[in-house]
Amino acid sequence: MYSKLISCLLVLIPSLSNGHELTPTYPKLRPSYIDGVLVTDMHMWNRREDAQYYEINVYDDEWNPIPFAATERIFQIDYLAHKELEIYIREKDEEKVEYICTTSKQLKEDVKSTGIKSMICSRVR
């Protein structure tokens, strides 16, 4: 009976929870309007009520940062809002690029005791 109650609560809890989502899983780089620069489009959906700022980062397979350009590296996104992200990467880095990630940035006053930093990484293949 007790385990059923717990299972029921766990099913109900997600409706109250907060989430962070980044798609596609495997983005493709394509030529941009600038010579020698590639671009990819990512889609972000913020379902975290406690986090409204996110940071974009691009890494190689050893998690070393790769230079990139975007309209904003740290951007504000309202709760339940969607955002399209255009990420520009130099053509010479095309073979090195492995991960494109977004990481939540919480304001100090939004963290009560233990905050949760969420990070989702798509893989460029």
Residues that bind another protein (CB under 8 A): 6-7, 10, 13-14, 16-26, 47-48, 50, 99, 106, 108, 111-123
Q: Tokens standing for 76?
A: 């504000």
Nearest-approach distance from CB 33 to another protein, in angstroms: 27
Q: Which is nearer to another protein, 7 or 76 (CB)?
A: 7
Identity of the amino acid at 56 = I
3-state secondary structure of 4: helix
Point out which residues pair with 80 in neighbouring strands: none
Q: State the sign of the Cα–Cα–Cα–Cα dihedral 89, 93, 94, 97.
A: negative
Q: Which is nearer to another protein, 14 or 36 (CB)?
A: 14
Q: Which is nearer to another protein, 10 or 36 (CB)?
A: 10
* Residue entry with tokens 């409204």: 52
Nearest-approach distance from CB 67 to another protein, in angstroms: 21
